[in-house]
Amino acid sequence: MKLATWNVNSLKVRLAQVLDWLARHQPDVLCLQETKLEDANFPVEAVRAAGYQALFSGQKTYNGVAVLSRIAASDAVCAIPAFDDPQKRVLATTVNGTRVVCVYVPNGESVESDKYQYKLKWLAALTQWLRNELQRHPHLALLGDFNIAPQDRDVHDPAAWAGKVLCSQPERDALQALFNLGLQDSFRLFDQPEKSFTWWDYRMNAFRRKMGLRIDHILLSAELAAVCSSCTIDTEPRKSERPSDHAPVIAELAA
DNA sequence: ATGGCTTGAGTGTCAAGA
């Protein structure tokens, strides 16, 4: 099974790129973030014509997540239970016996911001929820834009980013709390090239200059990590015209 | 140098992203 995640920064703008990417890579599941679409405007037919069914939870202008899958998905949940949040950032569903949890973790803006406190509370609620989900679903994958670089090697300039949002210790501690549930960073199960990133600022020619961060992740439960054969970042779409600022991440699981 | 792009809203120019 091939699982993927991609923050598309507007599915309206990126639809043709997403359809092209689906045709090339044929993942079993593609999780999308920042669709920025109300549900009534989701391109259900175009996705269906590409051979995928879509689950989506969106809102106007901001946020919005979707799970595209080749086979039917069941038991969809589009909010963290017991966490009151108008922002559409979560979509969980079961595909072929695997619980797929698609997340768009809040950005946080800066460590001084109220949005940073929201980010930490959001992550704490996610962790509490997934503790239960993992008991019910030993085969669980958590995919999405985490807006956290796990380690300094995931940052192009660790000194410049030290203590800043996306790299601060409380954020890394929150990610560690997810690891402590038994989830593993599939990317680090394998040898990887240096300067492997998933996001590059649109400004300053950051992509060309390899000035990025690895903030999009595929976390796997122990059962799934044991059968994971690869995790890669596809930088090709970032080279195209009008790219998303994020690259897709792909994990392959045996059977 | 707190900017630099890009998107969505909406028709001015700002919020938000990371």
End-to-end CA gap in chain A = 6
d(CA A202, C1' B4) / Å: 9
As beta bridge partners, residue A141 has A100, A220
Q: Which of A52, A104, A216, A245 is catalytic?
A: A104
Q: Is the CB atom of residue A16 positioned under 7 angstroms from any atom of strand B?
A: no
Residue A60, nucleotide of least CA–C1' distance? B8
Of A232, A203, A201, give the one whose Cα is nearest residue A217: A232
Residue nearest to nucleotide B17 (CA to C1'): A107
CA of A202 to C1' of B17 (A): 10
- Span A197-253, pLDDT tens digits: 999 999 999 999 999 999 999 999 999 999 999 999 999 999 999 999 999 999 999
The 10s digit of each residue's pLDDT in A116-127 is 999 999 999 999
Q: Give the alpha-carbon dihedral of A32, A34, A37, A42, to 10 degrees.
A: -10
Please check whether strand B approaches the CB of A203 to within 7 Å: yes
Cα torsion angle, A2, A100, A181, A123, sign: positive
Instruction: Enumerate the nucleotides of strand B whose atoms come under 7 Å of any protein CB.
Output: 4-9, 16-18
CA A178 to C1' B13, in angstroms, rounded, equals 40
Residue A231 one-letter amino acid:
C
Contact A67, A74 (CB under 8 A): no
Q: From the Cβ of A119, is strand B under 7 Å away?
A: no
Does A20 qualify as catalytic in the annotation? no
Tell me, yes or no, if A104 is annotated catalytic. yes
**Cβ of residue A209 lies below 7 Å from strand B:** no
Q: Model confidence at A141, in pLDDT bands (50, 70, 90)?
A: very high
Radius of gyration over every alpha carbon of chain A, rounded to an integer in angstroms: 17
| Amino acid identity at A56 | F
Q: Say yes or no: Cβ of A198 under 7 A from any atom of strand B.
A: no
pLDDT digits (tens, 9 = 90+) for A169-188: 999 999 999 999 999 999 99
Per-residue pLDDT at A149: 98
Backbone angles phi, psi at A217, to 5 degrees: -140, 155
Residue A244 class from Cβ within 10 Å (0-12 exposed, 13-18 middle, 19+ buried)? buried
pTM exceeding 0.85? yes
pLDDT band at A255 (very low <50, low <70, confident <90, very high): confident
